[in-house]
Amino acid sequence: MRAYRVLIPALAVLAAAATPVLSQAQPAADGRVVPTSAIGLKQSFAPIVRRAAPAVVNISAKRIVRQQMDPFWQALIGVPRARVEGSLGSGVIVRSDGVIVTNNHVIANGQEITVALSDRREFPAKVLLADERTDLAILKIDVPAGEKLPTMPIGDRSDRQVGDLVLAIGDPFGVGQTVTNGIISALNRTPDANGDAGAYIQTDAAINPGNSGGALVGMDGDLIGVNSFIYSQSGQSSGVGFAIPAAVVRRVVETAMGGGHSVVRPWLGARLQSVTPEIAKASGLPTPSGAMIADVWPGGAAARAGLKQGDIVTSVDGAPVVDAAALNYAFGTHRPGDTLRIGVRRGGGEQAVTVRAEAAPATPPRDEHVIAGRNPFQGATVVNLSPAVAEEVGIDPFGKAGVMVTKTADGAAHRLGMQPGDIIRAVNGRNIKTVTDLTSAVVVPARVWQFTIERNGRELTATVPA
């Protein structure tokens, strides 16, 4: 071990001595400069950390969970025992009056949320907005009158590039702040190129458990992303981490500050398919890049802009569209009412169309209802499935009409294992298309209930006694 310790400095000296003298690097047009010597590589991130780290906080969330127990023992003992579960994560102060952004999964179902500042002071926090789809939550703490907390500006640059240096700052194990550095490994990463699962920044900066909700910081000290998750077989960081981009963070913060309790996302009104090599060849495209319009919602934004089935969207406001997820992301980061210039390839030619961003239509009306009575759906909250509801929960808005379960309370639906997202298709041979259909079907007495639900694209049929 002693020889190893000696060897490293010796090799470092030899490497420094062997470093060739390079000419002064010329900055690129965007101001970026590649280090030209070992001395350049030794420069410190400390000035950025001093500026950014005070705005990074620790977040703990506690929730009370009642333990499930055998009915026999419950009858003897009484009320099921409760235990307290907790989670630890990180957050970023984005407004000096105590507004904090973090991941939704850090505080989900939390009944007691505490924020610990970098100076170790602790404050209870309330949730202003929790958005499961983006996995972001906005918290608020009450700070002493006249005090302004340190903040981290939400970056507004759109020229981030693969290879840019970044820092990940968080509180991964509840032992204090940690800072790791790396680069942007990729942009617009998505688990589903045809879907709307998000377009993440990928980084090799180490992100560990508890770092969720922490800051991905650019070299200007701005927040360029909120660290969200990692890909790992061991559960520890292996250099493949993902952050929610600043453009999405800004939209969610603006919504919360405007008093909104949910994020209204603009909807193109079109079903999209990423361009494959086969589609590119048939369309005369040099590379398989773009999003093809597979279907158009009547009267939606795409239809009114003149987009047609078979059109291939190649750009939004001058920025190239690589796949369907990239188009969904570019459209979704705008506000309803904004106008976008979209490049379209049609019939071998290129043209541009203007599309107005707007919310998905709530047709049919939501008609939220809690089912009561002696039936399998007792205790379930249901809504009519519409493009607005589908967009809200992240499912295909072009699916068949139906009634969706949004939550279950104590009752038959919960005991039977129904889940939020289940779509009720039929009850005792009657097709269910609206909440009115369902409420009418369950008031009819029955000895046996047979019903069909759709879950994750599969239809499940069950028969239960009344």
| pLDDT above 70 coverage of the chain, percent | 82
Q: Is the pLDDT reported for residue 178 higher than 50? A: yes
| Confidence at 4, pLDDT banded by 50, 70, 90 | very low
pTM listed for this prediction: 0.76
Cβ pair 255, 335 in contact under 8 A: no
- Residue 175: per-residue pLDDT: 72
Compute how many other C-beta atoms are within 10 angstroms of the C-beta atom of residue 336: 14
| Confidence at 395, pLDDT banded by 50, 70, 90 | confident
Q: What is the mean pLDDT of residues 128-149?
A: 92
How does pLDDT run across 193-209, given as a tens digit for each residue?
A: 555 556 889 999 988 77
Q: Which residues are catalytic?
A: 105, 135, 212
How does pLDDT run across 52-85, given as a tens digit for each residue?
A: 999 999 998 886 655 555 554 455 555 555 555 5
Q: What is the mean pLDDT of residues 146-152?
A: 94
Q: Is the pLDDT reported for residue 339 higher than 50? A: yes
Sorted by where each starts, the structural domains of the chain and their CATH numbers stand as 52-141 (2.40.10.10), 165-257 (2.40.10.10), 270-356 (2.30.42.10), 369-465 (2.30.42.10)
Q: What is the mean pLDDT of residues 437-443?
A: 93
SS3 labels along 192-255 = CCCCCCCCEEEECCCCCCCCCCCEEECCCCCEEEEEEEECCCCCCCCCCEEEEEHHHHHHHHHH
DSSP-assigned beta bridge partners for residue 215: 169, 226
Amino acid at 380: A
Q: What gap in Å lies between CA 214 and CA 236, rounded to an integer?
A: 16
